Amino acid sequence: MNTLTVALPGREYDILIERGLLAQAGERLRAVLPRARKLAVVTDTTVGPLYYNRVKAGLESAGFECRLFAVPAGEDSKNPSQLAALWEGFMDFGLTRTDGVVALGGGVVGDLAGFAAATILRGVAFVQIPTTLLAQVDSSVGGKVAVDLAHGKNLAGAFYQPRLVLMDPDALDTLPLPVFMAGMAEVVKYGCIWDGGFFDFLAARPSRQALMADIEHILYTCCDIKRQVVMEDELDTGLRMILNFGHTLGHAYELAGRYIEWSHGEAVAAGMCAAARLGVKLGVTPAGTPEAIENALSALGLPIAIPCSREDRAAAIGLDKKSAGADITLILLDKTGHAVPRKLPRKDLLELLEETL
């Protein structure tokens, strides 16, 4: 068992990483939710048939009464209407302040279930059981929960830390290859922003088979980096901003594809390449860095450039949560393994993008 503790005062929780952990969900949740009687298990129509019965058996053996709440798979489920449906469903189930919500699935399920848990009855206990690589290394840790609005992604949300995060690497075996590799974009990001040696480690393992042979180490390293960042800056006003490397342009690429053509991971991959090229243009990022990142991502089958109109760039940058007034904070690399913030007026950034991309 690999264990990491996110030591936020009064909101501490463990991240557990171990093969076969899904079958242990009951005993692990009972340890952190000793008074809970009922658990609302939120999943989606893809993950539910694969893993719900296995998790349910363990939860029931630990004395929990469970009810399944399955939402349609995909980003479209992360909306206010689906959130309201969960609230009403939780009330029909008889959920109380001492009970809890379990997110079993990828990032969409975790964000939606977490926001529902944060807001029902002014907050009930919440446990993350992420089943995708992207969710395991990124969205399940750190307490960001949200739904999308017509104006853009994750615009209504909260910071709400889970009580526990359970990661079973065996759940990754059922991921389609493109979904697995999309998660690798966030994994590579950690090497780019924090640990150059980890970046080299990943670049030497360009296949799924090679990555899965070291998956516990990969999950542990990513979660340890995010844990350290979140403990220093829980509310994303300083250091935590570096986790958004590649996301400013990535959000523009997602918008350009109307959130259908490009997955979040694919968009972030291209966004990191764009940010590296901008960093060179601004004299922050050493020459050769963009090529190294592009080579690593290309080897994983991820896009290194995505067509995007000026209008979509402007719209995404205007909604970026790292913006303040007329400025936006862009995350750049001053070397592979270290990220720095660079504040720019939005209009200057848009002009630079026109010149660089």
Sorted by where each begins, the domain ranges of the chain are 2-174, 177-356
Q: Is 320's pLDDT higher than 90? A: no
In this prediction, what percent of the chain has a pLDDT beyond 90?
85
pLDDT at 322: 61
Displacement of CA 265 from its chain's centroid (Å): 9
The pLDDT value given to residue 318: 72
**Taking residues 247-269, what's their average pLDDT?**
91
| 223-246: burial string, b at 16+ Cβ within 10 Å, e else | bbbbbebbbeebebeeebbbbbbb
pLDDT at 325 over 70: no
Which range among 59-73, 123-137, 255-269 shows the weakest confidence by mean pLDDT? 255-269
In this predicted model, what pLDDT tens digit does every residue of 115-131 receive, in sequence order?
A: 999 999 999 999 999 99
Q: Give percent of the chain above pLDDT 70.
A: 98
Question: Tokens standing for 88?
Answer: 């009403």
Res 170: pLDDT: 97
Q: Is the pLDDT of residue 258 over 90?
A: no
**Does position 319 have pLDDT exceeding 90, yes or no?**
no
CATH topology of domain 2-174: Rossmann fold (3.40.50)
Using CB atoms within 10 Å of the CB of residue 355, give its burial: 0 to 12 exposed, 13 to 18 middle, 19+ buried. exposed
Return the higher-pLDDT residue of 151 and 118: 118
Q: Do residues 5 and 69 make contact, with C-beta atoms less than 8 angstroms apart? A: no
- CB within 8 Å of 275: residues ≥ 6 apart: 245, 246, 248, 249, 330, 331, 332, 333
The whole-angstrom separation of Cα 284 and Cα 278 is: 9
**What is 177-356's CATH number?**
1.20.1090.10
In the predicted model, what is the mean pLDDT of the chain?
A: 95
pLDDT tens digit string along 170-199? Answer: 999 999 999 999 999 999 999 999 999 999
Calculate Rg over the CA atoms of the chain: 20
CB-CB contact of 320 with 155 (8 Å): no
In whole angstroms, give the CA distance from residue 258 to residue 316. 12
Q: What is the 3-state secondary structure (H, E, C) of 185-226?
A: HHHHHHHHHCCHHHHHHHHCCCCHHHHHHCHHHHHHHHHHHH
Report how far residue 124's alpha carbon sits from residue 116's, in angstroms, rounded to the nearest whole number. Answer: 9
The pLDDT tens digits of the residues spanning 93-105 come to: 999 999 999 999 9
- Strand 2-6 versus strand 13-17 pairing type: antiparallel
For residue 169, what are the contacts with CB-CB under 8 A and spacing of at least 6?
Answer: 17, 18, 19, 136, 212, 215, 216, 219
SS3 for 285?
coil
SS3 141: coil
pLDDT of residue 186: 98
Average pLDDT over residues 51-79: 97
Residue 321 confidence (pLDDT): 60
pLDDT of residue 214: 98
Q: Do 357 and 270 meet the contact criterion of CB atoms below 8 Å apart? A: no
Say what the pLDDT of residue 324 is. Answer: 60
Task: Decide: pTM greater than 0.85.
Answer: yes
Rounded to an integer, the average pLDDT of 159-164 is 98
